Amino acid sequence: MTQSKQLSPNSLAFIALSNEYCEAIETASAADRDEFVNSMLRLLPRLYISATDIRPDDDDMAYIDDALDEEAYNAARRNIEMLLGEDDSYLEVFEEDMKYSDSPIAASISEGLCDIFQVLFNFLEAVKDSTEEVIGSALTIVSEDFRHYWSRPLCNVLRALNHIKYSQD
């Protein structure tokens, strides 16, 4: 008889934070601007720390289906864009193309937040009502995605949100 592998407290914390983040993005249209910015400034660093604490399995066969459709992604992005107004755009200094450009490269907070939302929403849909083995595989995928992709937008958006919060009169 095989013994099932239990999820670590770090994995459980990451799942809970992912859920909290997705809920905040999904309800952004009903949020106050300052409330939303403060919420993101609390969630993003915790997600970063939690994602770095995930200990991935050695499962190379894992895959997460896309659950978030383009319409839902765009609706969330537009809601955040409207909430932040002109502060949605910021200058991106860590873009690879910046080395070869004489002009600044603009980025969007709403797009960065929704790129992270898409990864975490798909992750949550994959682990909902799943076995611990499936959850372990999904954690491996989201951890790899974090290392190679969504850690950078998370840090960049955090910097831009920090600027919004602390540059107000």
Q: Is residue 105 part of a domain?
A: yes
Q: What is the pLDDT of residue 1?
A: 35
Q: What is the pLDDT of residue 56?
A: 73
**Separation between Cα atoms, residue 1 and residue 159, nearest integer Å:** 50
**Separation between Cα atoms, residue 85 and residue 33, nearest integer Å:** 9
Q: Is residue 89 part of a domain?
A: yes
Q: Is residue 1 part of a domain?
A: no
Taking a C-beta distance cutoff of 8 angstroms, is the pair 113, 106 a contact?
Answer: no
CATH of the domain at 94: 1.20.120.1550
* Total domains, the chain: 1
Q: Is residue 3 part of a domain?
A: no
Q: What is the pLDDT of residue 55?
A: 81
Q: Is residue 133 part of a domain?
A: yes
Low-confidence residues in the chain, pLDDT < 70: 1-5, 58-63, 94-104, 169
**Separation between Cα atoms, residue 5 and residue 75, nearest integer Å:** 38
Report DSSP letters for 121-162, one per residue: HHHHHHHTT--HHHHHHHHHHHHHHIIIIIHHHHHHHHHHHH
Query: Structural domain of residue 26, as residue ranges?
Result: 9-55+65-166
Q: Is residue 2 part of a domain?
A: no
Q: Is residue 147 part of a domain?
A: yes
